[in-house]
C-alpha cells in the first residue's frame, strides 16, 4: 500500500514539474513570437539614413508644377524609412493619404492637422507600403512613396 502511494506521489510530482516546465517554455519562448504587438527589427527602428520631402515655396500655387519635392520617393526599410516632410512654404499644408493607411508599429499615417510654415511632419515606416498622398487644402499637391524591404 505504502509503495503504491509513493508511486502515485512521484506521478503527481512529475506531472506538476512537466506543467511548470511547459508553462515557462510557453511564456519565455512561444509568447514573444506570437504576441500581437509587432516585433520590429532594430535596423528598421534605427535606419542608417533619413528621407526628407520638402513642400517648397509656392506649393500653394496651382500653376506651379513642383510642390512635394521629390514627388516620387522610393524607400527601403532599414535604410531611409524615417521620413520627414518639411514645410518651406509660407502657407500651411497637410500630408494626407489618398486612402487610409496604417503601419502596424507607427499607427495611422498622415499629419493630424496642418503642417505650418517652418514645421515638420515625421513618420517611421516599418512595413512595405505604396502610398499616394496629397495636401488637403491644395489637392493639386500630390506625391507618392513606395516602401520596400531591403534586398540582401
Ligand atoms: Cu497645401
d(CA 109, CA 129): 11
2 C-alpha vs ligand 1 centroid, how far in Å?
A: 86
Residues 12-64 have pLDDT tens digits of: 777 777 766 776 666 666 655 555 668 899 999 999 999 999 999 999 999 99
DSSP labels, 61-129: -TT-S-SEESSEEEEETTTS-EEEEEE-SSS-B--EESS--EETTTEE-S-SS-B-TT-EEEEE--S-E
Looking at CATH, the fold of the domain delimited by 42-148 is given as Immunoglobulin-like (2.60.40)
Q: How far is the CA of 18 from the centre of ligand 1 (A)?
A: 63
Give the per-residue pLDDT at 1: 47
Distance in Å, CA 45 to ligand 1 centroid: 29
Q: How far apart are CA 44 and CA 37, in angstroms?
A: 16
Q: Domain locations in the chain?
A: 1-35, 42-148
Higher pLDDT, 13 or 101: 101
CA of 75 to the centre of ligand 1 (A): 23
Amino acid at each position: 500500500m505504502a509503495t503504491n502511494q509513493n508511486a502515485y506521489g512521484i506521478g503527481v510530482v512529475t506531472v506538476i514539474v512537466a506543467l511548470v516546465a511547459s508553462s515557462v517554455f510557453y511564456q519565455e519562448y512561444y509568447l514573444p513570437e506570437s504576441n500581437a504587438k509587432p516585433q520590429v527589427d532594430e535596423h528598421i527602428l534605427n535606419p542608417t539614413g533619413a528621407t526628407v520631402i520638402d513642400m517648397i515655396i509656392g506649393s500653394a500655387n496651382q500653376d506651379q508644377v513642383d510642390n512635394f519635392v521629390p514627388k516620387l520617393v522610393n524607400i527601403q526599410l532599414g535604410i531611409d524609412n524615417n521620413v520627414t516632410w518639411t514645410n518651406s512654404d509660407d502657407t500651411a499644408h497637410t500630408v494626407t493619404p489618398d486612402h487610409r493607411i496604417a503601419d502596424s508599429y507607427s499607427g495611422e499615417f498622415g499629419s493630424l492637422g496642418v503642417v505650418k510654415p517652418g514645421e515638420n511632419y515625421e513618420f517611421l515606416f516599418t512595413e512595405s507600403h505604396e502610398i499616394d498622398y496629397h495636401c488637403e487644402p491644395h489637392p493639386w499637391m500630390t506625391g507618392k512613396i513606395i516602401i520596400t524591404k531591403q534586398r540582401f
